[in-house]
């Protein structure tokens, strides 16, 4: 568990590079916002979370597995993660922020990360 990183993961770095290539300027890990979003784009009043499929339970994803040992612990852990995420997204929305969640499995390459970001920022 100690080796699992919460910041600067490969999918997060990929999304950051793609955002920068698209001319989007952002801040990283804003502690003053609920959930400490991975990227904060103040100009668009948008926050981006780059979620790992395993930890945040991406529905119908092959990376969303449950370990076979100590199953009750893991189920409790995952349900707390999902509940905490929903609570943070709700708080951010109430504060007037647009919340974008990008899943690890959708951004394996820089080109795909750019395509995902363009869905949200093409008209901006």
Q: How many residues does the chain have?
A: 124
* Spatial contact of 37 and 48, defined as CB atoms under 8 Å apart: yes
Strand-pairing partners, residue 28, are 39
Question: How confident is the model over 17-75, as pLDDT tens digits?
Answer: 999 999 999 999 999 999 999 999 999 999 999 999 998 999 999 888 889 999 999 99
Using CB atoms within 10 Å of the CB of residue 124, give its burial: 0 to 12 exposed, 13 to 18 middle, 19+ buried.
Answer: exposed
d(CA 1, CA 72): 17
pTM: 0.90
pLDDT score at 3: 56
* Spatial contact of 14 and 110, defined as CB atoms under 8 Å apart: yes
Question: How confident is the model over 70-123, as pLDDT tens digits?
Answer: 999 999 999 999 999 999 999 999 999 999 999 999 999 999 999 999 999 886
d(CA 11, CA 63): 14
In the predicted structure, residue 8 carries a pLDDT above the cut 90: no
pLDDT score at 6: 67
Q: Could you give the domains of the chain? A: 10-121 (3.40.960.10)
In the predicted structure, residue 2 carries a pLDDT above the cut 90: no
pLDDT score at 82: 96
pLDDT score at 124: 56
d(CA 13, CA 26): 13
């Amino acid at each position: 568990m100690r080796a699992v990183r919460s910041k600067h993961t490969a999918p997060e770095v990929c999304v950051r590079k793609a955002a920068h290539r698209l001319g989007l300027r952002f801040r990283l890990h804003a502690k003053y916002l609920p959930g400490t979003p991975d990227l904060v784009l103040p100009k668009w009043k948008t926050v981006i979370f780059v979620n790992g499929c395993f930890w945040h339970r991406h529905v119908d994803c092959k990376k969303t597995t449950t370990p076979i040992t100590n199953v009750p612990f893991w189920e409790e852990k995952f349900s707390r993660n999902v509940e905490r995420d929903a609570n943070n997204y709700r708080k951010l929305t109430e504060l007037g922020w647009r919340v974008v969640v990008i899943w690890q499995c959708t951004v394996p390459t820089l080109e795909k990360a750019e395509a995902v970001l363009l869905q949200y920022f093409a008209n901006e």
